[in-house]
Each structure stands twice: as C-alpha cells, then as structure tokens.
Chain A
Amino acid sequence: MPFVDAEAAAKRNYDVIVVGSGAGGGQMAYTLTMNGARVLMLEAGRKYDPAMETAMFQTPEMAPLRGSGTPDKPFGFYDATVDGGWQVPGEPYVRSSEEHEGRFEWWRARMLGGRTNHWGRIALRNGPYDFKPRSRDGLGFDWPISYEEIAPYYDKVEMLVGIYGSNEGLENTPDSPAGCLLPPPKPIVSDLLIQKYGRTLGLPTIACHRAVLTQPLDWKNSPAKLHPGNAFAQGIIARDMQRRMACLWATPCGQGCSVRANYQSTTVHLPPALETGKLDILTDAMVAEVILDKHGNATGVRFVDKHAGVSREVSARVVVLAASACETVRILLNSRTAKFPHGLANASGKVGKYLMDTVGSDLAGQIPLLENLPPHNEEGASGAHMYVPWWQYKTAEKLGFPRGYHIEFGGGRRMPQYYTSSGMEWLTGGSYGAKFKEDARRYYGSIVYFAGRGEMIPNEDSYCEIDPAVKDKWGIPVLRFHWKWSEHETRQAAHMQKTFADLIGAMGGRLQKPAQTDGAKAIAPGGSIIHEVGGVMMGDDPQRSAVNKWCQAWEVKNLFVADGSPFPSNADKNPTLTIMANAWRVADHILDRMQRKEL
C-alpha cells in the first residue's frame, strides 16, 4: 500500500486521516496501524528517505560555502531539513512586529517526518508539577490530565524510540521504570568539568535524555510491553527494532541518520507503520481545511495536490490534525462553515490563543583548562551527553520569576566548521601568521556553550490568527503572529545569563562579553527555539478550551489534535517526547472509541 497518489487516496476508505508526519503524526499513525486501523497520512512536503538521502560522513569542503548555513539551508548545507527553514518559498506568514521583543519566527520543514528529521533529540519527561502549574503558583493553566495518566505512555515511547538517560530521583524530573531508558554515553571532558564546578554553585549535572540508541533496542522484551496481547504488532516491531543500528559515535544527528540510530519519524515510526500494510502516505498534499457533513461531523479534509495544483478531498471516519501547533491552528481557523463561522473547535474563541515557545538565552565561555588537550575523539552521540535540570524548586519564590529552566551545554573537539576559528580576536589580540595558527590550535575545543531552556507562561498577547489578506501560493490564507514576552520570561532569561557567567567563572573561564543583565535583550525571539506549542488548548471547560482531555474537539466529536497544539503549558522540558506520549494516549482513546462504534 505505502505511498499513494492523490487519486488512489481519494478512492479508498480509511478509518483515520492523520495530517502531518512528524512526532505527533508519526506516533499517531504508528499506534493506530499497529492496532489494525486503516490510516491515510497527509504530508505537505515531499517524500524523504533517510536511508538514501542522509549526508552522514560528508565533510564541509564537499559542500558549497563549506557547509555553512544560508537562507536556503539555515542550519547548514548538510542539515537533514529540506524544503524548510525560517521562510518557506511561496508560503509566507505575517507578524505584527519585527522588533526583537515582539517578533515571532516560524520554523517549518516541508518534508516527510517534518521537523523530527532535524531536531536536537533531547527527550525529557514533563514532571508531575508540569501538568498542574496553575495549582502550584496561580499562573497559566493546568492540564486536564496528570503525570500519572500520561506516565505509561512516556514508558512506551521511551521503549519504542530508544532514549538514553539515567534515573536520579530529582524533584519533578521523573525517573523511568526499569527497561525504559538506554544507558547514557560517557561524559566528555567539558561535561565533567561543568559537573565538578557546577556542584560548587549547587547545579546538578546529570545524564541528558536523548533519542539516540547507545545500544540496540530490547527487541526480545519490549514488544510485549508495547503491544500487550497483540502478536501482529509485537512481531513487526521486534523485527524493526533489530533493523535499527546502535549509534556509530560519529556524524551530527542533525544531518539525519541513515542507520536509524536516532529518532526521526522517518526512521522509527513510519517504517513499522508501513509494514502493517494499514498505512497509506500521501506526500505533497497541503491540507487547507477539514470538511464537515450537514450534522457537523468531520468527513475528511480538502487539500491541495501540489503536483497537479488542484484541490482534492479525502474522507475517513476520524480526522486527526498533527500538522505542528501553528499549522494545526491554521487548518482549524480556515475550516469555516455556516455553523462554524470562526473556524472549527473555536466556539470558545481560543483557537490560536496562548501560543508558547521556550525561553531561550545562550552564553559561551573560553576555558583555559581545556586548552591544548591531548587529541582524542569527543564526538560521542553528537548532542548533549549531560545537562542540568531545573534545580531551584525549593527556593523558587525568591527568584522573582515563576517556574524554571534547564541548562543544555556543548563543547569539545568537534569537526572543525567554517566558524570554529572565527572571531577569536578577543582571545588572540588580533594575531595573524604563525601566531594565529598556534592560537587556533590552542583554543580549538576550549569553548563551552551554555543554553538555558525555560518555561514561558501563556499570555493573552502571544497568539496567531488568519491574516485577512495574505494567502500562500496555493491560495490558502496564512497566519499572522502576535508575540509578547512578560517579565516572567525576561527575568528568567537574565537569571540564565548570570548563572552561565557564574559557572564559566567558577570553571576559571573567560567571557567574550559580559553577561546580559537586561532580560529583554537576553531572551531569544519568540519561536526561535522551535518549541512552539499551544493554540488548541485542551481543558475541562468547553468555554475556555478548544479540545477536551482526549484532544477531541468539543464541537466535532470525530476531530482530534495530536501535536503540540493542545498543550496548556510549555514546561522547560523540550516538548517532543510529550507530543509523542500524548499522541499515543489519544490514539489509544480513538481506537477504543472506534471499537465501541462511537466514532
């Protein structure tokens, strides 16, 4: 069955249409098809095959401009993202402000697997507090579910995807049951220095959780835990787990992984889902709106067939939107009928509201202890081996901002890039000639980068809506973004800067420039961390939320969302693992309701 064209898809009967092929759509399609549902997945971008297309071992001199980023390939020439970036040709968006404080950046990837092909693979669980934030400090919104309700799905996703990490028993930083996590990779030397000197500041430096196989998956035991009583699914995933290789300890994850050692929807979710024979995938299908029958039930979606340039329709018993938070908002708001003049799921007027990103602020330092180290291989799993979870739950009220952040960091003798020995004047005093070559050797591998990733409180001024005038090249109205940070976020960003400066100082390091004390300048623009969630908030009250706890539209019972859009809050933990766990939970609910003939 697997990849179909638009005409074939229009003729078939499906149980579920899944719009989007990333973390949410991939997990949704996986869970549904492994349990026998017939699924049509629609992806706006092109087909993408990581086994054939990944540039893993290519080196910078093989690429144009030594592989450095351009507007066409913002994260570097060999970054796995194709047809994506901060701007997508022919698919504009509008923003109400271009100023640093009010700007929103929207990263998209028009390709099979979406943004999972590129992401940092950091896969942290939300903790119990993160589902009930309003109950703790009166700000934002509680989730209509608890940690205990989603925990079994975190377990399953970790076993399926393959997440390395450790259990440390820290507050609101959940441990995983035995058999879920893979062992973490050994720390590199800069990790160990950060751990040592961070301890003097009270920072707990522990194994990061990332979606990279440090050893083969447990294909003998995990399948029965993932799919109890389902021999069909167990057989498929046991075989597929054996086809995934463990990490080769080389090449950047962001370039993709042709041996399937890290998570991309295209390396983990879609191959077994396709093997069920229950999944059809239609690429280059740009969904414009959900179609309703006269009773107000969803019958399918209308999409633009990019090959033919014409609109087509496909139908199913259930429609799931997992197009990414903002794109899902766009589809809902563009689905206007006489009964729903303001778009679907929007009787509350909340669709598009409470958009959140992650609070981000970065600082780098040069660490003399790391100069001129004996050469050794520091590539490891290519991303973070360790991180610092939020550590100030006990003293939160003294900080002047709510919630918290975790610290990601990087360093090491990585593959030299175009920028590796650039901008060193602050260290070299402007050397050139033989002295410059010595300086380059001395400072290579001695720079450590810190990135704070913190929680934003949803606010009334950060939202998106349909622009009244602008349409994309397919004729579909586009989004207009509004963004505003509050002091909750800017104070947190200033705190990050101070923490990093203190830590670099404790390590005996030097800062290129002083830490930024003005949080409004320290904070990265909205959207730029690419953790945008919200816009289709789930809740218990139809007046104040767009979907219920099952991410089912209050007004359209066979319409669901399964990406980051239903998040009522955006914990400091990177959202992807929670998107997957929640999608699995929603998929189980859909399967249950279909079995009971309620959908």
Chain B
Amino acid sequence: MDRRTTIKWMLAAAASAPLARLPHLSAAQGSGEAKPYGTDPRLADRTYAPGDLWPLTFTPAQRQLATVLSDVIIPADATSPSASAVGVIDFIDEWISAPYPEHRDDRKIVLGGFDWFDAEATRRYSKKTIALDTNQLHAICDDICYLPKARAAFAEAATFFARYRDLTAGGFYTTPQGRKDLRYIGNIPLPRFDGPPLEVLKKVGLA
C-alpha cells in the first residue's frame, strides 16, 4: 500500500468510524452493578456511549437540573450549541456513575451540589432550580462561581460549581461541535508538516 492510498484509506476509516457503533445498550439491560471496563477493553473496533458499560444514575428530575446548570455554564451562542444539546448531560451521568474512585468522589460532589442548588433556590425564591428565571439563576451562580472569592457559607457550593463546570467543559469540548468552537484543526493525515503559517509568526513577533 503506498502512502497516498493509505492516507485515503485512513480518511475513510476516520469518517466511517461512528457507523461502526454497536447497538446502544440501555442502562436497564445491565446487571445494575457498575463494573470497570478492565485493562484490555476493545479499542479500535467499537465506540461507546454513556450507559453502554455501566448503568446511569440521573433521575428525570436530576437530568432537568443538570441541563439547567450545564447550559448556564455553556449556553448556545452564535458559534456553537449549548452543552446539553451535544450530549454533555449523558456524559456527566456516565462520569458520576463510573466504578472508579475518582468518579465515586465526583458522584458525591455532583449529587450533593444538585441538592444544595435546589435548597438554595427554594430558600431564596421559593422555587426549584429549573423554575428560576435567568436573573435568579445567575444570582446564585455569581455567589459560587469562584471559590477564592466566595463567602465562607458558599465554599462547599463553590467547590461543586468548579467541579461541575470542569465536567461540563470536559464533555462539551470533546465533541465535534466543541472542537469546532475552539477552531481545532487536526486529526487528519497530512502529506507533510509545514509548521506555523506566516501570519501566526507575525502575531507573536517571530516574523
């Protein structure tokens, strides 16, 4: 196989990979017990979706709340859709349901944070989070969005918000839409590597 043929084949393989996805296994089909995927999972010949490997956690109410919070962090704008529109809620559900120590810790933080948020919304506005208007939602977020400046009473909530923002961003920017938003270019075979274009060198003072 010559180089040109291989590159064509690679491109075709990359483009068709999602078609190789196995039928989605719903969480209900699992045994109910989350098992690690082990040290030798299938890599090249299948793709995975949340719920394929271990049962998910969110109740419908938790999904609604997760959607509100993820979308307040990453809303739709002129460049890209909102977090929830590209599967971030499923990803966060997969994450907090995963059978590994780090994820079990995050499970406590996230579910605890959900409870706190609803309690806080009720305390301030006598509503659940999902019923808040934008100003009310932002008022709470503003108090907890930056741990170093949060009041002591909000420290735990700020820790949750930082973690939840990382999970939301982690889920969002690893999608095709998220990569496009960052204007990432790559993962395509090239015949040669040219280094930075002149306009880049000029911008940083190297040309």
Given A82-B40, A248-B189, A425-B147, CB of A432 within 8 Å of CB of B3: no
- In the complex, chain B residues whose CB is within 8 Å of the CB of A592: none
Given A416-B178, A418-B170, A422-B170, CB of A70 within 8 Å of CB of B98: yes
The stretch of A30-38, A373-381, A494-502 in contact with B is A373-381
- In the complex, chain B residues whose CB is within 8 Å of the CB of A416: 173-174, 178-179, 182, 184
* Cross-chain contact B146 with A55 (CB below 8 angstroms): no
Bound form: Cα–Cα A360–B125 in Å: 52
Total chain B interface residues with beta-carbon distance under 8 A? 79
- A58 touches which of B41, B47, B190 (Cβ 8 Å): B47
Total chain A interface residues with beta-carbon distance under 8 A? 80
Bound form: Cα–Cα A62–B45 in Å: 11
Bound form: Cα–Cα A232–B75 in Å: 65
> With an 8 A cutoff between CB atoms, is A414 at the interface?
yes
Contacting residues of chain A (45-84) with chain B, CB-CB under 8 angstroms: 46, 52-68, 70-73, 77-78, 82-84
Bound form: Cα–Cα A260–B189 in Å: 14
Of A60, A85, A186, A188, the most chain B CB neighbours within 10 A belong to: A60
Closest to B206 in A: A192
* Cross-chain contact B145 with A65 (CB below 8 angstroms): no
* Cross-chain contact B40 with A46 (CB below 8 angstroms): yes
Closest to A259 in B: B6
* Cross-chain contact B43 with A55 (CB below 8 angstroms): yes
Given A189-B206, A376-B196, A378-B186, CB of A433 within 8 Å of CB of B178: no
- B48 touches which of A57, A63, A376, A421 (Cβ 8 Å): A63
Bound form: Cα–Cα A59–B102 in Å: 22
- In the complex, chain A residues whose CB is within 8 Å of the CB of B87: 61
Bound form: Cα–Cα A418–B169 in Å: 8
* Cross-chain contact B196 with A57 (CB below 8 angstroms): no
**Distance (Å) between the CB of B123 and the closest chain A CB?**
21
- A71 touches which of B36, B146, B184, B186 (Cβ 8 Å): B36
> With an 8 A cutoff between CB atoms, is A354 at the interface?
no
Bound form: Cα–Cα A454–B7 in Å: 39
- A246 touches which of B3, B171, B188 (Cβ 8 Å): B3
- B98 touches which of A60, A65, A433 (Cβ 8 Å): A65
Bound form: Cα–Cα A419–B169 in Å: 8
Contact with B along A431-473 (1 / 0, CB 8 A): 1111011001100100000000000000000000000000000
* Cross-chain contact A434 with B17 (CB below 8 angstroms): no
* Cross-chain contact B195 with A187 (CB below 8 angstroms): yes
- In the complex, chain A residues whose CB is within 8 Å of the CB of B182: 413, 416, 420, 440-441, 444
* Cross-chain contact B95 with A65 (CB below 8 angstroms): yes
Closest to B79 in A: A437
* Cross-chain contact A377 with B73 (CB below 8 angstroms): no
**Distance (Å) between the CB of B77 and the closest chain A CB?**
6
Closest to B150 in A: A430
> With an 8 A cutoff between CB atoms, is B60 at the interface?
no
Contacting residues of chain A (241-261) with chain B, CB-CB under 8 angstroms: 245-251, 259
* Cross-chain contact A71 with B101 (CB below 8 angstroms): yes
Bound form: Cα–Cα A431–B47 in Å: 33
* Cross-chain contact B174 with A67 (CB below 8 angstroms): yes
> With an 8 A cutoff between CB atoms, is A599 at the interface?
no
Contact with B along A172-194 (1 / 0, CB 8 A): 00000000000001111100110
- B195 touches which of A60, A65, A188, A246 (Cβ 8 Å): A188
* Cross-chain contact A77 with B41 (CB below 8 angstroms): yes
> With an 8 A cutoff between CB atoms, is A40 at the interface?
no
Contacting residues of chain B (96-116) with chain A, CB-CB under 8 angstroms: 98, 100-103
- In the complex, chain A residues whose CB is within 8 Å of the CB of B38: 72
* Cross-chain contact B173 with A250 (CB below 8 angstroms): no
- In the complex, chain B residues whose CB is within 8 Å of the CB of A59: 174, 176, 179, 187
- In the complex, chain A residues whose CB is within 8 Å of the CB of B74: 433, 436-437
Bound form: Cα–Cα A375–B181 in Å: 11
* Cross-chain contact A430 with B147 (CB below 8 angstroms): yes
Bound form: Cα–Cα A251–B200 in Å: 23
> With an 8 A cutoff between CB atoms, is A336 at the interface?
no
> With an 8 A cutoff between CB atoms, is A400 at the interface?
no
- In the complex, chain B residues whose CB is within 8 Å of the CB of A423: 166
> With an 8 A cutoff between CB atoms, is B201 at the interface?
yes
- In the complex, chain B residues whose CB is within 8 Å of the CB of A433: 72-75, 138
> With an 8 A cutoff between CB atoms, is B39 at the interface?
yes
- In the complex, chain B residues whose CB is within 8 Å of the CB of A414: 184, 186
Contacting residues of chain A (67-126) with chain B, CB-CB under 8 angstroms: 67-68, 70-73, 77-78, 82-85, 88-89
Contact with B along A249-281 (1 / 0, CB 8 A): 111000000010000000000000000000000
* Cross-chain contact A72 with B146 (CB below 8 angstroms): no
Closest to B166 in A: A422
- In the complex, chain B residues whose CB is within 8 Å of the CB of A430: 145-147, 149, 162
Contacting residues of chain B (129-155) with chain A, CB-CB under 8 angstroms: 138, 141, 145-149
* Cross-chain contact A64 with B44 (CB below 8 angstroms): no
* Cross-chain contact B206 with A196 (CB below 8 angstroms): yes
**Distance (Å) between the CB of B33 and the closest chain A CB?**
16
- In the complex, chain A residues whose CB is within 8 Å of the CB of B169: 420-422, 436, 440
> With an 8 A cutoff between CB atoms, is A369 at the interface?
yes
Closest to B73 in A: A432
- B72 touches which of A84, A189, A432 (Cβ 8 Å): A432
* Cross-chain contact A436 with B40 (CB below 8 angstroms): no
Contact with A along B1-37 (1 / 0, CB 8 A): 0010011001001100110000000000000000011
Mind listing 9 A-B residue pairs with CB under 8 Å?
A55-B44, A56-B10, A57-B10, A73-B37, A83-B39, A370-B204, A421-B173, A430-B145, A432-B145
Task: Identify 20 new A-B residue pairs, CB closer than 8 A, beyond the known A60-B174, A251-B187.
Answer: A53-B44, A57-B17, A66-B91, A66-B171, A72-B41, A72-B100, A77-B43, A78-B43, A188-B196, A375-B184, A379-B187, A380-B193, A416-B178, A416-B184, A422-B169, A425-B162, A432-B141, A434-B77, A437-B77, A440-B169
10 closest A-B pairs by beta carbon, nearest first, are A430-B146, A186-B195, A60-B174, A248-B189, A57-B14, A375-B183, A62-B47, A430-B145, A422-B166, A418-B170
Show the binding face of A for B, using Cβ within 8 Å: 46, 52-68, 70-73, 77-78, 82-85, 88-89, 185-189, 192-193, 196, 245-251, 259, 369-370, 373-381, 413-423, 425, 429-434, 436-437, 440-441, 444
Show the binding face of B for A, using Cβ within 8 Å: 3, 6-7, 10, 13-14, 17-18, 36-41, 43-44, 47-48, 52-53, 72-75, 77, 79-80, 87, 91, 94-95, 98, 100-103, 138, 141, 145-149, 162, 165-166, 169-176, 178-179, 181-190, 192-197, 199-201, 203-206
